[in-house]
Chain A
Amino acid sequence: MTQARIGIDVGGTNTDAVVMRAGEVAACAKVPTTADVTSGIVAALEEVLRLVDGPVAAVMIGTTQFTNAVVERSGLEPVAVVRLGAPATESLPPLVDWPESLARSILSEAWILPGGHEFDGRELTPLSEPDLRRAARAIRSAGSRSVAVSAVFSPIDPSSELRAAAILSEELPGADISLSHLVGGRLGLLERENATVLNAALLRLGRETIERFERSATEAGIDAPLYLTQNDGTLMSAGYAARHPVTTFASGPANSIRGAAYLSGIQDGFVVDVGGTTTDVGALVHGFPRQAALGVEVGGVRTNFRMPDLYSIGLGGGSVVDFDPPRVGPRSVGYRITEEALSFGGKTLTATDVAVALGRARVGDVWPAVQVERGDLESALRTIDLTLEAAVDRMRTRAGAAPVVAVGGGSFLVPDDLPGAAEVIRPPHASVANAVGAAIAQVSGEVDRIVSLDGVTREQAMQRCRQEAVARAEQAGAAAGSAAIVDQEEVPLAYLPSNAIRVRMKAVGDVPL
């Protein structure tokens, strides 16, 4: 029997799990998402394992636990921040633009010390070992166990951060040290540092959570590696994720889009994910979600993480239908749809009931909904169609029809003749596309740096970046030799006649099986 991959993804209402075998969905399960997230994941794992037998090769989990911890400010530990670059950067201390209450609950102390590099790789200021030891002793007496270290231009040369980490570790045995070049690794000091501080605050929770996942897997008889999904729809090993919990932010939408691409076989087009309350429209480019231009903001903190470019609208299967004025959503009965919707014996007319009455969906009882005035039903359906059409059109970047993949529990709302869609594809298992996206995910590595073209050819410089992106994918758990570049971007530096370009590159490789 071929080995199985298990994918689990946490949504706002349900936690979905699938077992994939030989590229097909062998079993799937839905359990309610729990307040602590993790026990829902464990329940979904147990549920889906009941449905299949045979060996499991890997378990992939997309969790919202760490995002929730930041938003709810629970389970975070105090962090000391050491920034290397002084006297540069002194105008803006760490955590400068954070919501005050969050900054107060996380920050134990911040130091801005010499170190870091210039854009062209020259040393900015020499690292000061005595300063670092003094800071370490103060951190120790303040009782902080988690330290975030950032250095100016560490994505270009991480040596300042690495050297500082070594010195801090000597003075602070057993302390956790998060380094900014390993967290996101993108240019933009404040955003990268913010992500690093959040990472440091989440480390204890990260370790506990991963241990719990591993224990649950072991208890369920699974002897296979565990992976977590990240914001771009790719994976990291559990060991890596325990050290970088922050990279799980915003992984859900990416899983959905990747799953839709996989189930439908569509590489370029749009994904319309209709849930109970909202619909997310994303764009597929070469099988991956198109990324948004701006970084993800979590709990009011700007980070340098990208998430899929999504357009979200307040329309879902549970959306309440009104006639005065005529409107569908954004009010929704949400997960209470099976009690409150007309077709399920309730008293509320929802988008689902409209679809049921007019033959677009077959769920529940058709009779209560067809009692509603037909003209009203038709005008509500027209509103739904126009809303979906406008949402897809918003994400379109070129003229001409493109395929649309409809997924999610409410995907029956999407009409077959959606204007602008070359075709509407409803793949099997569309309601668990997110968990499928987790199960089929690959491992990635990223590079973002300014490259000076003095003394090297452009091709030599790009080749160096490519090698590094591949090496990073392998560090994150990709099978040796499997990683290849999937995305590269080159932006010339404005306002300087020096020959410098900013290069971003991403490599993706397979999970070793």
Chain B
Amino acid sequence: MSLSEPPVNADGEWEIDERALEAIALGAGVLGTGGGGSPYLGWLRVRRQLRLGRRVAVVRLDDLDPDALVIPTSGIGAPTVGIEKIERGTECLSAVEAIEDLLGRAAAAVMTDEIGGANALEPMLVACHKGIPVVDADGMGRAFPEVQMTSFFIYGLEPYPTALCDEKGNKVLFPRADSAEWLERAARAVTIQMGCHAGMAGPPMSANRAQEVAIPGTVRRAWRLGRAVLEARSGRTDPIAALLDAGPGVALFVGKIVDVDRRTTEGFAKGSVALEGLDSSAGDRCVIEFQNENLVCRVNDEVRATVPDLICVIESETGTPVSTEELRYGSRVTVVCLGAPAELKTDEALDVVGPRAFGLEADYRPL
């Protein structure tokens, strides 16, 4: 059995090689809980940079100087657009530079807002180009649909300044936003004009402040999940068991997708998926409601898990995470629930990312 901690050098830097990158990309797909966009293209982009000789290092927040400038950065837009209008590769980099120019200070490290899905890889591309590390932390510990749903804002970080940049080099700065909701509204509107995909950076924070508002250890969590599945595949053992062990997590249901119901409301891919039980779940029925991400899982009409806990639909045979856009009749899947980070389960967090924030008539019940 391999180590549960990645190798680090004397400076606490964990150098990402192709193997670790593949694991992080797969684990990020699991942490997407059905949303967040596929990490596939981001994985290819960073792998290409590694093959060109560039390097990516991941550091813990504790390894940074308390005053070090950390700039979060992520892509914003529609994943369906991202597979067609593929990134130039400089969108997030330019957005980070816009914040640096505004502050007159260089970033010491970058960080993702969202470890779940495609955004897990975006800061790595910036790190390749700038030669600075990626922080092992993020603002969601999973994927969420909107900017205000990060721990940064839940725990009081001012929602400014931020920057958006598209592939053409257009930059839009938001020097001030009255609230994170206003930032979300304005950034979304600009993104649509930019062709539905842009790089976003900010608000900047010190490593010290990040300790208070970010969720630590989430890059390692993605890596552990992904590596467990990759090792199970190569050792021909059960990838679901490996995933549950690495999570740690609970298998809520084993079954087959028998119905997918989608509807569109204000740009959200809302809907539900029904599963019929197999093996240990034979005779049972499971329904998952989703709104980009999976929100609530009911087995035989009884609520078994809700947001912010991570409800992940995983292909039973391969351990591959299945996004809500990929749900298809007949797929054999296991519904895995991973506990949300503690930072998402406080009262102030549940106001923003709990079941009621998504319009569900249910209270959060810890797993």
Find chain B residues with CB under 8 A from A398 CB. 258, 276
User: Given A89-B88, A397-B257, are A492 and B262 also a contact pair (CB < 8 Å)?
Assistant: yes
Smallest Cβ distance from A327 to chain B, in angstroms? Answer: 17
Residue contact B44 to A92, C-beta cutoff 8 Å: yes
Residue contact A187 to B80, C-beta cutoff 8 Å: yes
Residue contact B266 to A88, C-beta cutoff 8 Å: no
A92, A152, A495 pick with most chain B CB within 10 angstroms: A495
Residue contact A493 to B195, C-beta cutoff 8 Å: no
Find chain A residues with CB under 8 A from B145 CB. 494-495
- Mark out the residues of chain B between 205 and 260 whose CB falls within 8 Å of any chain A CB in the assembled complex: 256-258
Residue contact B258 to A494, C-beta cutoff 8 Å: no
Report the nearest B residue to A97, measured CB to CB: B44
Residue contact A89 to B87, C-beta cutoff 8 Å: yes
Smallest Cβ distance from B284 to chain A, in angstroms? Answer: 12
Residue contact B329 to A290, C-beta cutoff 8 Å: yes
Q: Is B168 an interface position by the 8 A CB rule?
A: yes
Residue contact B86 to A397, C-beta cutoff 8 Å: no
Report the nearest A residue to B43, measured CB to CB: A97
User: Given A89-B88, A91-B45, are A119 and B167 also a contact pair (CB < 8 Å)?
Assistant: no
Find chain A residues with CB under 8 A from B366 CB. none
- Mark out the residues of chain A between 112 and 143 whose CB falls within 8 Å of any chain B CB in the assembled complex: 116, 118-120, 122, 124-125
Q: How far is the CA of A190 from the CA of B44 in the complex (A)?
A: 11
Q: Is A432 an interface position by the 8 A CB rule?
A: no
Find chain A residues with CB under 8 A from B83 CB. 187-190
Residue contact B196 to A397, C-beta cutoff 8 Å: no
Residue contact B276 to A92, C-beta cutoff 8 Å: no
Give the secondary structure class of A's interface: loop
Residue contact B258 to A397, C-beta cutoff 8 Å: yes
Residue contact A496 to B77, C-beta cutoff 8 Å: yes
A88, A90, A188 pick with most chain B CB within 10 angstroms: A88
Q: Is A101 an interface position by the 8 A CB rule?
A: no
A96, A97, A283, A494 pick with most chain B CB within 10 angstroms: A494
Residue contact A118 to B85, C-beta cutoff 8 Å: yes
Segment at the A interface, from B4-12, B58-66, B320-328? B320-328
Q: How far is the CA of A90 from the CA of B85 in the complex (A)?
A: 10
Residue contact A491 to B325, C-beta cutoff 8 Å: yes
Report the nearest B residue to A495, measured CB to CB: B78
Report the nearest B residue to A154, measured CB to CB: B84
- Mark out the residues of chain A between 386 and 411 whose CB falls within 8 Å of any chain B CB in the assembled complex: 394-399
User: Given A92-B41, A395-B330, are A122 and B195 also a contact pair (CB < 8 Å)?
Assistant: yes
Find chain A residues with CB under 8 A from B89 CB. 90-92
Find chain A residues with CB under 8 A from B332 CB. 394
Find chain B residues with CB under 8 A from A89 CB. 85-88
Residue contact B85 to A124, C-beta cutoff 8 Å: yes
Q: Is B331 an interface position by the 8 A CB rule?
A: yes
Residue contact A92 to B86, C-beta cutoff 8 Å: yes
Q: How many residues of B contact A (CB 8 A)?
A: 49
Smallest Cβ distance from B336 to chain A, in angstroms? Answer: 19
Contact with A along B303-334 (1 / 0, CB 8 A): 00000000000000000000011101111100
Find chain A residues with CB under 8 A from B330 CB. 283, 290, 309, 394-397
Residue contact A496 to B86, C-beta cutoff 8 Å: no
User: Given A493-B267, A499-B267, are A189 and B258 also a contact pair (CB < 8 Å)?
Assistant: no
Residue contact B263 to A87, C-beta cutoff 8 Å: no
Q: Is B102 an interface position by the 8 A CB rule?
A: no
Contact with A along B18-47 (1 / 0, CB 8 A): 000000000000000001010001001100
Q: Is B81 an interface position by the 8 A CB rule?
A: yes
Residue contact A396 to B167, C-beta cutoff 8 Å: no
Find chain A residues with CB under 8 A from B195 CB. 118-120, 122, 124
Q: Is A318 an interface position by the 8 A CB rule?
A: no
Q: Is A435 an interface position by the 8 A CB rule?
A: no
- Mark out the residues of chain B between 80 and 101 whose CB falls within 8 Å of any chain A CB in the assembled complex: 80-81, 83-89
Q: Is A497 an interface position by the 8 A CB rule?
A: yes
Find chain A residues with CB under 8 A from B35 CB. 494-495
Residue contact A91 to B81, C-beta cutoff 8 Å: no
Q: Is B176 an interface position by the 8 A CB rule?
A: no
A–B complex contacts, Cβ < 8 Å, 7 sampled: A119-B78, A119-B84, A125-B168, A394-B256, A397-B256, A492-B267, A498-B267
Give me the interface of A with B, judged by CB distance under 8 Å. 85, 87-92, 96-97, 116, 118-120, 122, 124-125, 152-153, 187-190, 283, 290, 293, 309, 394-399, 450, 490-502
Q: A91-B45, A494-B292, A496-B196 are in contact. List 16 more A-B contacts (CB 8 A).
A: A87-B169, A88-B85, A88-B87, A88-B88, A119-B85, A120-B195, A122-B195, A187-B84, A188-B83, A189-B83, A189-B86, A190-B86, A492-B263, A492-B267, A494-B267, A495-B35
Q: Which 8 A-B pairs have the closest CB atoms?
A: A91-B89, A492-B264, A497-B267, A494-B269, A89-B86, A118-B195, A397-B329, A88-B167
Give me the interface of B with A, judged by CB distance under 8 Å. 35, 37, 41, 44-45, 48, 77-81, 83-89, 125, 145, 167-169, 188, 191-192, 195-196, 256-258, 262-264, 266-270, 276, 292, 324-326, 328-332
